[in-house]
Amino acid sequence: MTASAIIFYIISAFVLGAGLLAMTTRKIFRSAIWLLFSLIGVAALYFWLQVEFIAAVQIIVYVGGIVVLIIFSIFLTQQSGKEMPRQSLQRTIASVLAVLFGFGLTFLQIWKYNFQPTGKSFNWTVSKIGSQMLNTSTGGYALPFEVVSMLLLASMVGCIVIAMKAPLATNGTADQQLLKKLDGKPEEELGITQISEV
Amino acid sequence: MGWSLENISHFIDSWLYNEFDPTIARLIEFLIIAVCVIGLFAVLGLVLILMERKVSAWMQVRLGPNRVGPGGMFQTVADTLKLIVKEGMTPLNVDKFLFNLAPFIVMIVSMVVLAPLMFAKNFQIWDINIGILFITAVSSVSVIGILMAGWASNNKYSLLGAMRSGAQIVSYELSAGLSVLCIVVLTGSLRISDIINSQANGWWLFKGHIPVIIAFVIFIIAVTAETNRAPFDLAEAESELTAGFHTEYSGMKFALFFLAEYVNVFIVCAIGATIFLGGWMPLHIGNWNGFNHAMDYIPSFLWFFGKTFLLIFVIMWFRWTFPRLRIDQLLNLEWKYLLPISMFNLLLVTVIAILKWHF
Amino acid sequence: MAFLKNYIKEVFSAVRSSLKGMGLTGYYALHHKKEKITQQYPDNRDELILPERFRGEVVMLHDENNEHACTGCTACELACPNATIKIITKFDITPEGKKKKALDTFVYHLELCTMCNLCIEACPTDAIKMAQTFEHSVFDRNKLTKVLNKPGSKIKEGIE
């Protein structure tokens, strides 16, 4: 067994072990942390495959984005520090069986397909990925790329609309009344958000 | 053969590969690098904390540490000895595993981010082709360590500090990333060595007109916030949250957080020096051949560390000038000012890059 | 358009005021030798310069004839917020044969004193003042109870 293979098995064991712990731990925050380790392990596998760009994106999107989001939502839930109740035996057996069948199905598919090493080296630089993204000829990804960017833009606009303040008249809290008293001066002039005071 | 870091590392490399099996040689190299990085961390911690205390004293018209050693040089050594000797307490109701893991996560992330940095001419741990993206990606993991520490401490101050820190790091990463992207657009490569080589005829700060200067200013502000330093130190605001996410830490575990803060300052300043100030490239001015030759005689690692420490001084300067922001002011600064400006700025830089207006 | 103008104006004023603040601290950083105000006590005990208004302890002024200006009016005792001063009076016989109230002992409890300066302001004859001595530590707290008028001293002529 070569050193490369040993590293592969170590990383895989790490990913699977962390995933298993994420499933079985009874503290929800620890579960999120184990998920984080599992995802970092996946990024390590990408590094091992020498597709660094995908690895970095994996870290940015999953570790820096999604896991942080999960942790934030855990922080905001009540009683998240307590241990969750133990699952009933019936549920445990059912989930173990589901996992086993799922694993058996996937394993069978891969084993039957009989992958052959091509021997071709595979070198996708970032600039190649970038030009493929903006490629308008056949096999290019310009259209999906633009559609996805429109989707992101739409969600951004939606966020801004949701976060925008309601007009002053509809809201009668003390602060708002104070603002009204001050002849409707914008709150910037009251030093609430003024950057020059920063 | 000159005694540059490049030649020394080459010499060690070829000697190891001649003497040993490639796998063993590689493992030994890993070990050497690990020892070097840990050594660098220890030295940086000592030097930067002393520098911070001296700079703060000077700006506040005080003297600073001046008793231990000549001019107070060994003050931080004494402090470190004290921290090592102190008991590392773990409070009763904390989540022990995560509580003990958190400082190491923060530390390991700082160590990994160091990998693609180029410390001198051709002296680098890992010349990865996505260098700058790698740094941005991995440094976003450090927020997890802080959130973990805040949660595991089972203390409301820690939790509040961690939440603030999370909100702060996640938002300021955007404008820092966009300013880095400006240089990536101008260079057309993510590899650190390419970015440095593109500045052989002048640093980007001078070549890129006003948009790059704006990007540089935004970058410095954003990384100050990302490293949780004053005036953006809401995560540990002493007067409100005692010490924020590391309230419950003591002894060596506290020292790791403290060290990681200063090493992170070094790393972000090193990135700033690399992408805006030319890394190890000496200062060259137009056709002044005599001046340019004189500059070439200064070793490249001195250039790199000189520029980095200049930026560190600027960040310390911020800390000892401005009072702390409130959380709403902090988020306003990012979302209403830095982010729109840096987005618009990126557009300008792209136009400059396409029309080749830069020098 | 007005919004954009305000926005740009805010950004510029923020940059300007930030630079102004940094200019001041930068000046201090560069001129820290000239501007420094730290007194390195106890190294410079001999040439230590205290500010004019520094208050160390209450003393009573005596001139070369061992005469003070205290009439024993107890205005300082009444003014003191925490009973630091206790004045014991006696009756002198004037040359005309009249009895006259005079100071016998001016007791001053340094351990209770907060150096608030109210007694000095209350004194109608400027008999007491604040000294600048500040090294007050002793091994026995009884030593902190002081008698301010010197033995054998008497009131100056002409002070009522």
Q: Where are the domains of chain B?
A: 1-85, 86-355
Shared domain for C78 and C10, answered yes or no, is no
The CATH number of residue C87's host domain is 3.30.70.3270
Q: Which residues of A touch C13 (CB under 8 A)?
A: 195-196
Nearest to C92, CA basis, from C104, C84, C100: C100
Q: How confident is the model at residue A38 (pLDDT cuts 50, 70, 90)?
A: very high
The chain B residue lying nearest C32, using CA atoms, is B58
Shared domain for C100 and C24, answered yes or no, is no
Establish if C46 belongs to a structural domain.
Answer: no
Shared domain for C120 and C88, answered yes or no, is yes
**pLDDT, tens digit, for every residue of B212-265?**
888 898 999 998 888 888 788 877 777 777 777 778 887 788 888 888 888 889
Q: How confident is the model at residue A196 (pLDDT cuts 50, 70, 90)?
A: very low
Q: What pLDDT, on a 0 to 100 scale, did the predictor assign at position A153?
A: 92
Do residue B58 and residue C22 have CB atoms under 8 angstroms apart? no
Task: Write the CATH number of the domain with boundaries A1-80.
Answer: 1.20.120.1200
Q: What pLDDT, on a 0 to 100 scale, did the predictor assign at position A106?
A: 92
**Is the per-residue pLDDT at A150 higher than 90?**
yes
Q: What pLDDT, on a 0 to 100 scale, did the predictor assign at position B2?
A: 59
Q: How far apart are CA A182 and CA A176, in angstroms?
A: 10
pLDDT by position in tens, chain B (length 359): 456 777 777 778 788 778 778 778 888 888 888 898 888 888 888 888 888 888 888 888 888 888 887 878 888 888 888 888 887 778 887 778 888 888 888 888 888 888 888 887 777 877 788 888 888 888 888 888 888 888 888 888 888 888 888 888 888 888 888 888 888 888 888 888 888 888 877 787 777 778 888 889 899 999 888 888 878 887 777 777 777 777 888 778 888 888 888 888 998 899 888 888 887 877 777 777 777 777 777 777 888 888 899 999 999 888 888 888 888 888 888 888 888 889 888 998 888 888 877 76
The chain B residue lying nearest A123, using CA atoms, is B129
Shared domain for C93 and C124, answered yes or no, is yes
Do residue B322 and residue C18 have CB atoms under 8 angstroms apart? yes
Q: Which residues of B touch A81 (CB under 8 A)?
A: 154
Shared domain for C23 and C89, answered yes or no, is no
Q: Where are the domains of chain A?
A: 1-80, 122-168
Q: State the burial class of residue B11 (Cβ atoms within 10 Å of its Cβ: 0-12, 13-18, 19+).
A: exposed
CA A196 to chain C, closest CA, distance in angstroms equals 4
Establish if C160 belongs to a structural domain.
Answer: no
State ipTM.
0.80
Burial B169-189 (b: 16+ CB within 10 A, else e): bbbbbbbbbbbbbbbbbbbeb
Query: DSSP readout, C66-131?
Result: SEE------HHHHH-TT--EEEEEEEEEPTTS-EEEEEEEEEEEGGG-----HHHHH-TT--EEEE
Shared domain for C73 and C149, answered yes or no, is yes
Do residue A195 and residue B97 have CB atoms under 8 angstroms apart? no
Q: Quick one: how many helices (H) and strands (E) in chain B?
A: 16, 2
Taking any CB pair shorter than 8 Å as contact, residues of chain B touching chain A are 23, 95, 97-98, 128-130, 133-134, 136-138, 140-141, 143-144, 147-148, 151, 154, 159, 162-163, 166, 170, 173, 188-190, 231, 322, 325, 328-329, 332-333, 336-337
Shared domain for C81 and C114, answered yes or no, is yes
Q: Which residues of B touch C32 (CB under 8 A)?
A: 57-59, 61
Query: 């340019």: which residue's tokens?
Result: B292
Q: What pLDDT, on a 0 to 100 scale, did the predictor assign at position A198?
A: 38
- Structural domain count of chain C: 2
Q: Percentage of chain B surpassing pLDDT 70?
A: 99
Shared domain for C102 and C31, answered yes or no, is no
CA A173 to chain C, closest CA, distance in angstroms equals 26
Shared domain for C81 and C147, answered yes or no, is yes
CA A65 to chain B, closest CA, distance in angstroms equals 8
Shared domain for C75 and C26, answered yes or no, is no
Do residue C32 and residue B321 have CB atoms under 8 angstroms apart? no
Q: What pLDDT, on a 0 to 100 scale, did the predictor assign at position A166?
A: 67
Shared domain for C21 and C65, answered yes or no, is no
- Average pLDDT over chain C, rounded to an integer: 85
Establish if C47 belongs to a structural domain.
Answer: no
Query: 């309230």: which residue's tokens?
Result: B247
**Is the per-residue pLDDT at A183 higher than 70?**
no
Select from A187, A193, A196 the residue whose CB has the most chain C CBs within 10 Å, as the one to mutate to test that interface.
A196
Establish if C66 belongs to a structural domain.
Answer: yes
Domain membership of residue C25 as a residue range? 2-35
Q: Which residues of A touch B332 (CB under 8 A)?
A: 193, 195
